[in-house]
Structure 1
Amino acid sequence: MIIEIAVLYVKLGQENQFESYFKLASQYISAISGYISHQLLKCLEQENKYILRVHWQNLEDYTIGFRQSPQYAKWKELLHHYYEPFPVVEHYQEINLT
């Protein structure tokens, strides 16, 4: 499993509208093969800061399956204009410590 992390800074004053559009956009990411789950976390100290965490079966499910899909175009249209600056998206894998 791969965990995608993106720190999102939403333009000040647009947080409620962003959250509403994010709910709508969630249908597009969840329709992708290899998608497992996602969470949007809101920072308590900084009202316009969020963390998006997405679980994928593998990296290609994101890089090819999602980013090259018609669903991504809809996701982008709904959400990308809210970000300032544009987020860095990184992917992680769990390390077995036992």
Structure 2
Amino acid sequence: MILEAVMLQVKDGMEVEYEEAFRGASEIISSMKGYISHELQRCIELKGKYLLLVKWETVEDHTVGFRQSKEYQEWKKQLHKFYDPFPKVEHFEQVHIS
């Protein structure tokens, strides 16, 4: 299992619209092969800042299976207009859990 982690900065004043769009777009990502789960967290200290965490079975399930799919094009259409600057995606593997 890998964890995709993305810090997102949503354009000022678009937070409510973004959260609504994200709920709709969640159906897209959750239907993909290798998808395990995802969550979106809103920052308490900084308005418009979010943390997206997505669990995938493999890195390739995200980078190839999702990112190169027609479903990703719809994901982009629904969500990418909200971000400024455009987010950097990183992948992590578990080292320790208690």
Which TM-score band (shorter chain)?
A: over 0.9
| TM-score when normalising by structure 2 | 0.96
Q: Distance in 1 between matches of 2:5 and 2:70?
A: 22
Partner SS state of residue 90, structure 1 = strand
| TM-score when normalising by structure 1 | 0.96
Superposition misfits of 4+ residues, deviation over 4 angstroms: none
Partner SS state of residue 37, structure 1 = strand
Q: Determine the structure 1 residue equivalent to 2:31.
A: 31
Q: Distance in 2 between matches of 1:86 and 1:97?
A: 31
Q: Determine the structure 2 residue equivalent to 1:76.
A: 76
Aligned-residue offset at 1:95:
1.0
Number of corresponding residues: 98
Superposed CA offset, 1:1-40 (max 9, x none): 0000000000000000000000000011001000000000
Seen in structure 2, the aligned counterparts of structure 1 residues 7 and 97 have a Cα distance that, compared at 3 Å, is closer
Q: Distance in 1 between matches of 2:87 and 2:97?
A: 30
Q: Determine the structure 2 residue equivalent to 1:45.
A: 45
Q: Distance in 2 between matches of 1:97 and 1:51?
A: 20
Aligned-residue offset at 1:47:
1.7
Q: Determine the structure 1 residue equivalent to 2:56.
A: 56
Code of the residue aligned with 2:71 in structure 1: it is: Q
Aligned-residue offset at 1:97:
7.4
Partner SS state of residue 84, structure 1 = coil
Seen in structure 2, the aligned counterparts of structure 1 residues 52 and 97 have a Cα distance that, compared at 3 Å, is closer
**Structure 2 residue 22 is matched with structure 1 residue 4:** no
The answer for unaligned runs of 5 or more in structure 1 is none
Q: Distance in 2 between matches of 1:97 and 1:2?
A: 14
Code of the residue aligned with 2:53 in structure 1: it is: R
